[in-house]
């Protein structure tokens, strides 16, 4: 049985193909201006990697804000459901996943079957999202992927007084002009963002077994800052955390294909 999951987000598009329940291929790419182009390109790339064609799919589930633009999708599912199912698939012991996406942050509690119990998300402000880190990296003239390593060398992290992206950007420029160490500034940025996300997660009551998904989870500085803010050791993932939503969509596709086959 061949199933696929496609997660078309605001900053990136991800796709996963499962063959007989195992990951056959996955792909992550930068989102194109139009979500339909993102969906086409990421699906073309992942099917090429897996050596299959979309015609061979038994089922395909799409998720993400561009989910209605995936041509081969048999069904669409919310990001909430897909991240819960994907996190549960990778870390079965976990009961909560925190996902920091390009334009939102969400915390989802789920049961022993990966089904959503409670969730909360913030899509009204960029300060708790991946976009916040992107803007700050640009302002500091550093690479986004270097931020974690830079933060790890901090000896005296700054405390930011502004959460708003616009004001925070102005504040860090002032800190640079004052001669504050870049490592301390970046570490302070991570801590400020982590406290905002932790506050969001606490609003639905923390589970003791928490994992983290999304591209920001690959940032070791943010991972450490979130652990510190939550006062809980996060459960790491053995796969790329950026594909968790697409993986969850593929697992849901597998479940739907099984039900369809048994009907």
Phi and psi at residue 182, to the nearest 5°: -60, -35
Predicted pLDDT at 109: 97
User: Which is nearest to 106 in space by CA: 91, 134, 87, 133?
Assistant: 87
Helix (H) / strand (E) element for 24: namely strand 22-30
**Mean pLDDT of the region 66-94:** 96
Burial of 182 (0-12, 13-18, 19+ CB in 10 A): middle
Regarding whether 231 and 148 lie in a shared domain, the answer is yes
Regarding whether 217 and 181 lie in a shared domain, the answer is yes
Neighbours of 109 (CB within 10 A): 20
Regarding whether 136 and 72 lie in a shared domain, the answer is no
Predicted pLDDT at 122: 82
Regarding whether 255 and 181 lie in a shared domain, the answer is no
Predicted pLDDT at 20: 93
Percent of the chain with pLDDT over 70: 95
Residues 38, 29: contact at Cβ < 8 Å?
Answer: yes
Which of 87-96, 114-123, 130-139, 197-206 has the weakest average pLDDT? 130-139
Regarding whether 183 and 263 lie in a shared domain, the answer is no
- In tens, the pLDDT along 208-244 reads 999 999 989 999 999 999 999 999 999 999 999 999 9
pLDDT confidence bin for 205, thresholds 50/70/90: very high
The DSSP letter of residue 235 is: B
Domain count, the chain: 2
Regarding whether 69 and 102 lie in a shared domain, the answer is no
Domain around 122: 92-236
Q: Is 224 helix (H, G, I), strand (E, B) or coil?
A: helix
Regarding whether 223 and 195 lie in a shared domain, the answer is yes
Q: What residues have CB less than 8 Å from 141, skipping those under 6 apart?
A: none
Predicted pLDDT at 87: 98
User: In the predicted model, what is the mean pLDDT of the chain?
Assistant: 92
Q: Say which CATH number the domain at 114 has.
A: 3.30.420.40
User: Which is nearest to 56 in space by CA: 19, 25, 30?
Assistant: 19
Predicted pLDDT at 131: 82
Predicted pLDDT at 11: 86
Query: What's the rounded Cα separation, in Å, for the pair 145 and 202?
Result: 28
Regarding whether 251 and 231 lie in a shared domain, the answer is no
- In tens, the pLDDT along 119-172 reads 998 866 666 778 888 888 988 999 989 999 999 999 999 988 766 656 778 888
Query: What's the rounded Cα separation, in Å, for the pair 227 and 16?
Result: 28
| Position 86 pLDDT exceeds 80 | yes
Regarding whether 230 and 249 lie in a shared domain, the answer is no
**Mean pLDDT of the region 168-188:** 90
- In tens, the pLDDT along 21-79 reads 999 999 999 999 999 999 999 999 999 999 999 999 999 999 998 999 999 899 999 99
Predicted pLDDT at 172: 85
What pTM was computed for the model? 0.91
Regarding whether 250 and 123 lie in a shared domain, the answer is no
| Position 117 pLDDT exceeds 90 | yes
Regarding whether 247 and 213 lie in a shared domain, the answer is no
């Amino acid at each position: 049985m061949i199933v696929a999951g496609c997660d078309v987000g605001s900053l990136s598009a991800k796709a996963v193909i499962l063959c007989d329940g195992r990951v056959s291929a996955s792909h992550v790419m930068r989102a194109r201006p139009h979500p339909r182009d993102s969906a086409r390109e990421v699906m073309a790339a992942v099917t090429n990697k897996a050596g299959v064609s979309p015609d061979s799919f038994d089922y395909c589930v799409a998720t993400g804000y561009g989910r209605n633009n995936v041509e081969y999708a048999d069904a669409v599912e919310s990001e909430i459901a897909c991240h819960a199912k994907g996190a549960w698939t990778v870390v079965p012991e976990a009961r909560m996943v925190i996902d920091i996406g390009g334009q939102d942050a969400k915390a989802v509690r789920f049961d022993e079957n990966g089904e959503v119990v409670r969730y909360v998300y913030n899509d009204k402000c960029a300060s708790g999202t991946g976009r916040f880190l992107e803007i700050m990296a640009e302002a500091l003239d550093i690479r986004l992927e270097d931020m974690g390593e830079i933060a790890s060398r901090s000896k005296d992290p700054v405390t930011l007084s502004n959460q708003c992206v616009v004001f925070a950007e102005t504040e860090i420029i002032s800190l640079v002009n004052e001669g504050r160490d870049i490592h301390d500034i970046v570490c302070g940025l991570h801590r400020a963002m982590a406290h905002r996300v932790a506050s969001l997660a606490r609003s639905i009551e923390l589970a003791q077994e928490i994992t983290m998904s999304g591209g920001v989870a690959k940032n070791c500085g943010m991972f450490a800052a979130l652990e510190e803010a939550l006062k809980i050791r996060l459960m790491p993932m053995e796969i790329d955390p950026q594909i968790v939503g697409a993986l969850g969509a593929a697992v849901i596709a597998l479940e739907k294909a099984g039900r369809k086959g048994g009907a």
